[in-house]
Structure 1
């Protein structure tokens, strides 16, 4: 019998003055699954992520952690539970090397002195475990490519051994090869038994790595889809709130053209 999901939101709502950002949102993130959170701009994705990460406190509803109600009022509360968030800006320090970024705020000390040897060893072990290829753990972050910076930011989130990792648009502005590197890492997080919330506008990325796709529309749930049993058209219809959209019209035109070509033959 399966246990409760690691993280669950039950009827979460959030207001900012007269603006209702979230209304009765439900979300479940089991261990070892990638849940993609998608929606148009203004759908409430950022607000929901910040409520989970402790930046905002919900006005109504309950956040459950491993089946029990949890109080998350500060980012430290989320981190203490085991929630790590990698925001789109990554918040890396360009003037520090990879080791310095991985252990920033979590430095290992021995007799009150920074233990550089221990931190370098743990950095190598962590990157090797995740199959992350970096020229050197002593290379400055400023010298790394966009994809390498992204995977270092994700690796830094794992130093605290979280159970849930939230990735905010991790492949935005990356090239094809760098995107593939990041998506490979997302799959390795799943293999390690972590729950992953993937926020993305890229439907190809969503379909490539997610197990479930949760759609937000105007601050409300608008469907949770099993990735293996759905398609991009169905998800985009849920995002836009209409069955008639640019994607479905383009598909219909293609079908009409194909039928016309068959008729000519």
Structure 2
């Protein structure tokens, strides 16, 4: 099923059976909730990080295929629900030690199950740290290509004016000819679109001007909302079950099978999954 393939695309080879069970439940829940996300394009989900990262079975070893298939069968039909509704099972690579509330990251109301939680466990004892340095000229050019971050002909400084409990930059002022205030995740989206996803890896950063360069330094990788994969791997190593892990990251949720009652929320039991390069959608069952 697609759950096997999605799970394989997301897990580290060294943490197999337990991670595959967890990721299968997440992938299934996400697929159910987001069915029809690309309906106007003739398919449901795409195969990159906009929807769910997908890798074809042919790129994996027979052993890893077996692990993923067993995990998807062991959790067959299992999804995460809040008040009897499937949740938006958001996840990311590394929270840096603390997740964030969805509303503070993107604006709008925060779903009751997507509030910030502390995540002290870590595989190696240190979360992902990173640094990205960029010249003022290149940074200015990137900012000015988006109306949200347009500053004019000069950029004096970048100031974080609000942080959340996790330390992520919630609001940032870009001080130039204009001084727009943007969300941290908006700035990250603009800059990673120009410089790549491994540049500004998260909004849990500080920024300074040093030796004629703007220097961003931070921890974590991804938006920081929902399940932290790095933290989840550490919890698996500490002996926690996938049920315990899910209930840690998603407040007050339960696990239910995608039974006939829940399926009345949807039209049918299959989804169309578009792989890359763009071709005819492949249809999979949940």
What TM bracket, shorter-length normalisation?
under 0.3
If each structure's helix is expressed as a fraction of its own residues, which one has the higher value? 1
Q: TM-score, normalised by structure 1?
A: 0.24
Q: TM-score, normalised by structure 2?
A: 0.23
